[in-house]
A and B are shown apart, each in its own frame.
Chain A
Amino acid sequence: MKKPGGQSINFRDNARQALQNPTLRRAMRHATETFRNKRNDAIDGIPFEEWREQASELRKSIIGNINGYVDEFAVNATKRGAIVHRAKTAADARDLITAILKDNGAKSIVKSKSMVTEEIHLNKCLADLGFRVIETDLGEYIIQIAGETPSHIIVPAIHRSKEQIGQLFCEKLGCDFSDDPAVLTDTARKLLRQEFLSADAAISGANCYIANTGSIVLFTNEGNGRMVTTLPPLHIVVTSIEKALPSIDDLPLLMRLLPRSATGQVLTSYLSIISGQRMAYSTMDTKRLHIVLLDNGRSEIARGPYWEMLKCIKCGACMNVCPVYGMIGGHAYASTYPGPMGVILSTLLNGLENAHPLLDATTLCGACAEACPVKVPLLKLLYELREMRVAKGYNNTLEGVSMRGFGIAAKNAHIFRTGQASAGALWPLAGILSPVTVNRLPKPVKRTFRRRFS
């Protein structure tokens, strides 16, 4: 079928290649299994359903008034001495950040993990301009020295085995080979300590920002996030507009849901609430805090039919339960955000024209939607976008016929359930797998998640 133009992601070839990589397959199987078990243990014995209902309602009301919260936050953060910037596009954000660094004479930068900076391809831009940028989250550090991009939004180097990481450290850092995670972690600790103490500036993300106090909030485990936000004389926070919480009183709910869903922890080792600019460590110079709020199409998504995707709190739970992600890993998606949320968000951010092949990255089993702590209706959004893809003529005719059937079924809850039960017929990824692989794929659920829980 002729495409209306534009270069689209070659998802099928990427997935095929990933499936032929036994190391990757092993790493992904181990990782997603471990994650699923931890998360299931963490939500055992707590009123998870009640909390996710509350969180879902809260996130819904936020997305409905997103620019209101951006304004309120900007006023309050400014009162506290922060300098707030709004970036309409990725290019605007890069220009703003570069200008802030130049104005402050900063050359070396330590970074803590931020998916929004991945979205705007900040590292490449800064490196091209001659800045020295060091990622300090262990996973980000590993992929930075490997020259890769994250393959998971929470654990960026999840696709690599400890032997591969040992070899990488050996080659790039000149240390002795070890495949002991504790030894490798210690190597990184020693090398990075100096970087924290000598950097001119820090760039971090934020898990959320609080409108009524002007605060930004960071959930971290390693302590690198605390280092970068308290040591260098300049701190630039880069985050996106949908990460608002109206009030500091809303934070406990997020504190209860995010770590449990992300890593199975009751709370991350560190949770920092940063409100305004601070005093310097050991001198009394006031330090500067800049906050860049990225829109990059989100205001428009918030107004459109797929606004529910913006409820996402970026916990990664949906990728950990996704049978497709669990087999191919994050790189096959060739976009910043992988897994079920990534398929949808990438399609919304980058356009159907570019991202439509990603809509094949699903078994339509619905496990993602069942895992989501803020009830993003991932399955519904996947169906709707796939329907849109058919309507715009981006895919094969067979699905076109099935999808037209779906369009009718989706309007009726009962038929929708029946349709889901036979989702095996619409199992898009199966077509690109060899017969051997297909036999080893988890079969589409016989009893759907929806039915088991209702």
Chain B
Amino acid sequence: MRNEELIRIFMENASKVAAKPIRVEGSNKLNDILDEILANETSVYCPAKTELEKSVIIDVERRVEALENATSSVEEVVAGIAETGSIVVSSANGRALQTSLLPTYHVALLSADNIFASLDEFFKIMGNDLPTNVTFITGPSRTADIELTLTIGVHGPEKVSILVI
């Protein structure tokens, strides 16, 4: 499948599960888009470990070092799955899984090269030697435990944006 087609299917399916995919053309645009979507956030956490994360600029007043104190987080995720519109995070290289869990707003940076067409394709690449924790995130946290009424945002984020770079 052509890369553009894969990106399109991924973004379409991510929207269906209430995530907000945004296409970033050229990495110089990344910080403009982040400024825009994080405009109302008072505290932002970004691990600054990968190259992509290091290119993220967050003003000092808003940047927090402790994840528990952050209302939002920006981090690179390891993969996107077009079939389900999911993003994948993992504990490999000592990454904290809670970056995509504790803040109410999770901004995922996804390199377009890391989008897989299907679940099978992803698992084939992963092999059997799995990191301690691999988590697929498909939209924001939700519940339907009260009268099956969908409520977005329970213990995990209520908003998930995916910047496809």
Contact = CB atoms under 8 A, between A and B. Distances in A.
Contacts of A230: 97-98, 101, 133
A193 B130 contact: no
A278 B155 contact: no
B43 interface: no
A385 to B, nearest CB: 31
Contacts of B133: 229-230, 272-275, 278
Interface string A155-166: 111101110010
B161 interface: no
A158 B119 contact: no
Contact of A185 (B85, B91, B118, B154): B154
B141 to A, nearest CB: 4
Contacts of B60: none
A117 to B, nearest CB: 18
Size bracket of the B interface: 35 or more
B113 to A, nearest CB: 21
A202 to B, nearest CB: 13
Contacts of A182: 151
Interface string B140-165: 11111111110101111100000000
B141 A222 contact: yes
Interface string A255-268: 11000000101111
Contacts of A231: 98
B126 interface: yes
A80 to B, nearest CB: 8
A279 B95 CA distance: 10
A170 interface: no
A222 B16 contact: no
B135 interface: yes
Contacts of A277: 132
A252 B119 contact: yes
A213 B128 contact: yes
Interface of A: 27, 30-31, 34-35, 80, 136-139, 142, 155-158, 160-162, 165, 181-182, 184-185, 188-189, 192-193, 196-197, 212-213, 215, 221-224, 226-227, 229-231, 248-249, 251-252, 255-256, 263, 265-279, 281-282
